[in-house]
Structure 1
Amino acid sequence: MSKFDFDDIVCAIAGLPESRLGLKAWIVGITSPESRRGSYYEQFPPGEIYTVEFEDGSSVDVHESGLKYYAED
């Protein structure tokens, strides 16, 4: 079962350049361990991979361990 769901608001705490850590992002895609196909996913540890979209419209894939729920200051 996924820790996060579509449209959850999260931020990256690891696995991305420092300039992206802590920025508000939304879960827009979930890749389960069973559906991980191809060499692209070899760069990630086992588990869920989430596609997150930032407020500037850019998106990136992040392993579940590199995310937490976003907290407004």
Structure 2
Amino acid sequence: FWDQFKAFLEAAVPVAAQAALFYLIVRFALAVAGLLLDVARSPAPQPQGGPADAQPNAPRPQLAGRQARAGIPERASS
């Protein structure tokens, strides 16, 4: 009995591994398809409008640090 059971397990494990791999591939494909459908259904983002949109090449305000004074090069921060 044990020899037959061992032979059955040796034959069944590759089949089970293939089935599990196929299941994972199908789940991944369905997840990607769902994400693509969600993206297709979502509305396109609308520009908010404002000074940045009105002048695309305008200088942006400095967010961090201090403004450099005219004629004095900035030092490397330590």
**Which structure's CA Rg is the greater one?**
2
- The two structures share one fold, judged by TM-score above 0.5: no
TM-score (ref. length: structure 2) = 0.15
Between Structure 1 and Structure 2, the one with more helix by share is 2
Between Structure 1 and Structure 2, the one with more strand by share is 1
Greater relative contact order (Cα 8 A, min sep 6): structure 1 or 2?
1
